[in-house]
């Protein structure tokens, strides 16, 4: 979708990799750990969803609806609004150290929670208020959030 219009579509689905350590927005990753092929333009908003959006949902986003206002079925996982001078809400940072995931956030305060799945109604489990928090990387999938 570009500017609210379907640009290209295809069939099949490829799961998002879970072993990546970097993501580039507006450039292609490559070279000696750096970005190449920089985009000459502006990124207005960036969002990650846990499912494919319907054409109506894409149109709603294009006409100004916030991702957080979409139905729960859209499975909003992350959203950045680059129009704001400062980040709103809680900003999470992640780093890997050996077999541990270090999670820290600003502003301070709040309770780190985790869930193994975002389908249906997720069951969030408290992991405490330590900031930064150290989580041992295990098998399976885990999702994290901070509640103020």
Tens-place pLDDT, residues 75-118: 888 888 776 655 557 888 888 889 999 999 988 888 999 999 88
Question: What's the pTM value of the predicted model, to 2 decimals?
Answer: 0.46
pLDDT of residue 16: 64
pLDDT of residue 37: 66
Q: Cα-flanking dihedrals φ and ψ of residue 97, to 5°? A: -135, 100
Going 73 to 17 to 24 to 147, the CA torsion angle's sign is positive
Q: Span 38-52, mean pLDDT?
A: 78
- The span from the CA of 124 to the CA of 60, in Å, is 29
CA angle centred on 36, ends 38 and 76, rounded to 5°: 65
């Amino acid at each position: 979708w570009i500017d609210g219009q379907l640009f290209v579509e295809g069939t099949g689905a490829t799961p998002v990799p879970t072993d990546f350590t970097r993501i580039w927005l507006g450039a292609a990753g490559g070279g000696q750990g750096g970005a190449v092929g920089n985009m000459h333009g502006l990124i207005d908003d960036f969002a990650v969803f846990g499912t494919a959006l319907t054409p109506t949902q894409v149109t709603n986003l294009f006409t100004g609806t916030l991702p957080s206002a979409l139905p729960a079925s859209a499975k909003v996982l992350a959203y950045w609004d680059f129009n704001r001078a400062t980040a709103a809400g809680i900003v999470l940072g992640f780093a890997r150290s050996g077999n541990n995931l270090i999670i820290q956030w600003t502003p301070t305060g709040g309770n780190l929670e985790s869930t193994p799945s975002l389908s249906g109604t997720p069951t969030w489990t408290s992991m405490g208020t330590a900031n930064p928090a150290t989580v041992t990387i295990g098998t399976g999938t885990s999702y994290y959030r901070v509640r103020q």
